[in-house]
Amino acid sequence: MPFNRTGLEQLSSGRQTIDELGIGFLQDECALVPLSTKVNRLSCYLQARYGQRADLDVLAIAAKELELRIYLDSVPDWDVFLISFFNRLAQASHIEKLQLSLDFISAGFVEQYDVDRMSSVVDALISFLRSNSKLYHLDLCGTYGCLGWIPYLKHIFNELEGHQGIRFFAMDTYPSEDPDFSWLVKLLSRNRKIKVVDESGKLNVPEIERLYALSHFYCDSEELKKECCSLRPSLVALALIGNEVKDFQRYALMLSHHTDTLCELVQDVSQKATTTLGATNGPDGSEHRKRKMRMQPPRAAKRGARLDV
């Protein structure tokens, strides 16, 4: 099927959903049509100059996973286009994976660029994050330098702290404005389920690797809560007395996740101790009387004492 407007619209109006679709450059009125095709995973190049804001406002985005490269050449209001794009993604509210890079072909675009205009685009990105709670993968690598997200990374991190679905975030490089990685440390301390990488696929920072190890323990401890109720006490006890918990932070995480189980363990030990003590003493206190009798002096000794008097 040729990828003209008619063919793409047939894909959009079809009853069946395609699992995956990859499309190169499309021009003129076809530029934005791929976004509305019934597909689970869409990979394509978009030239913003062929898409109108009005088209974006009514676009029904069907895909759950998007891999897009948007070229912003010959678009004076490129920031308005991107804001409309993110607003539409926010309204979709079902996006689970977004891999997005921004670029341009013509060198003349640099003359149109204004860093202050990117701030509004970041605000639209954050609105998209808030509206798509199922988003687990966000990759912003491959964006041309002057269009980069790096100056706004702190704001993006702040939003990712409380995102319930996000598990992976990729960026081109870590900002030099934060040499001690304090922004990332804060993010990883508040969202234990996310992994952050640069374009190389890894951040070789010992402190960050230590936080990842702690986060893995956190997630494993949470998974333990899903185990059968009859098995949890034994598993928690083994974890606490074994080699899995070696420092205070891990003890604290384990205790916070399994307070109910620990209370059950303490109650069980207390009940067993009470039962054992009761069995030793006997119900009529006979053990106490035996001890009292053993402590009394023999009768002969008592008589001797009376004769001496």
Give me the pLDDT at residue 74, please.
83
Give the pLDDT of the chain (309 residues) as one tens digit per residue: 445 566 666 666 666 788 998 888 776 677 788 888 889 999 999 888 887 766 787 788 989 999 999 988 888 888 999 999 999 999 999 999 999 999 887 765 665 567 778 899 999 999 999 999 999 999 999 887 667 798 899 999 999 999 999 999 999 999 999 999 999 999 999 999 999 999 988 888 889 998 998 888 777 777 766 665 666 666 666 666 665 556 656 666 666 666 666 676 666 656 666 666 566 555 555 555 445 445 455 554 444 444 344
Tell me the two tokens of residue 241. 């007395």
Tell me the two tokens of residue 234. 């034994």
Give yes or no for a contact between 100 and 48, defined as CB atoms under 8 angstroms apart. no
Q: How far apart are CA 138 and CA 283, in angstroms?
A: 68
Give me the pLDDT at residue 284, please.
55
Report the 3 state secondary structure along the chain: CCCCHHHHHHHHHCCCCEEEEEECCCCHHHCCHHHHCCEEEEEEEEEHHHCCHHHHHCCCCCCCEEEEEEECCCCCCHHHHHHHHHHHHHHHCCCCEEEEEEECCCCCHHHHCCHHHHHHHHHHHHHHHHHCCCCCEEECCCCCHHHCCHHHHHHHHHHHCCCCCCCEEECCCCCCCCCCCHHHHHHHHHCCCCEEECCCCCCCCHHHHHHHHHHHHHHHHHHHCCCCCCCHHHHHHHHHHCCCCCCHHHHHHHHHHCHHHHHHHHHHHHHHHHHHHHHHHCCCCHHHHHHHHHHCCCHHHHHHHHHHC
Residue 136 dihedral angles phi and psi, to the nearest 5°: -115, -15
Tell me the two tokens of residue 197. 């990488």
How many other CB atoms are found less than 10 A from the CB of residue 149? 20
Nearest CA to 1 out of 19, 23, 17 is that of 23
Give me the pLDDT at residue 309, please.
42
Nearest CA to 51 out of 18, 77, 90 is that of 77
Domains of the chain (ranges; CATH) run: 5-203 (3.80.10.10), 205-309 (no CATH)
Q: How far apart are CA 288 and CA 284, in angstroms?
A: 9
